[in-house]
Structure 1
Amino acid sequence: MADETKLYLIWHDPGVEPAGPLDLHGDGHSLAEGLWLVRSALTRSKLYHRIKWQLPEGTALACAPLADEPEGWPKFKGMEAGALAWLREGLE
């Protein structure tokens, strides 16, 4: 299904600024500078490359799939407000 979304954890070097606002190619929530939770219909490879092309060449970047259910969510503390609420909204 083309419109089925998957949950990803995206990280890029927080010391590197993209040229403009980062297009996450889906619904995203910032956890910290350079760290995002993203729901996207893209594959991991396509999402990785589309984020990579928005960053200066050589920028460190990671894109990891997560299970989109509570057992597969990362545990976190001290991140931007609303992350857990954003995850729960995706289940509705």
Structure 2
Amino acid sequence: MIGAKSADNAVLETEREDYMLQPIIGYYKDEQGHWVAKLSCHHNQHVRHQPPFINRPWVTTPEGRNSKLGFELNCVKCERKAPKDF
């Protein structure tokens, strides 16, 4: 199902087929102390844990972050053909 919408009109992540999935290759903290994933496409993406809105408890520990190396995230910057971050 492409572009399916939830009750609040948000596109459901698991039902889109047009994602630009890119593996996580590393992490760093930004100037505000938030974790940022470095993606193989040379773009950066925040990976915050802010329950109940964003539930990523794996971000809070080195073991959790290491377990997600290689995990693919949708890169909106790739979709927009944005310049590389690094």
TM over 0.5: no
Q: Calculate the TM-score normalised by the size of structure 2.
A: 0.22
Larger radius of gyration: 2
Structure scoring higher RCO (CA < 8 A, sep ≥ 6) equals 1
Q: Calculate the TM-score normalised by the size of structure 1.
A: 0.22
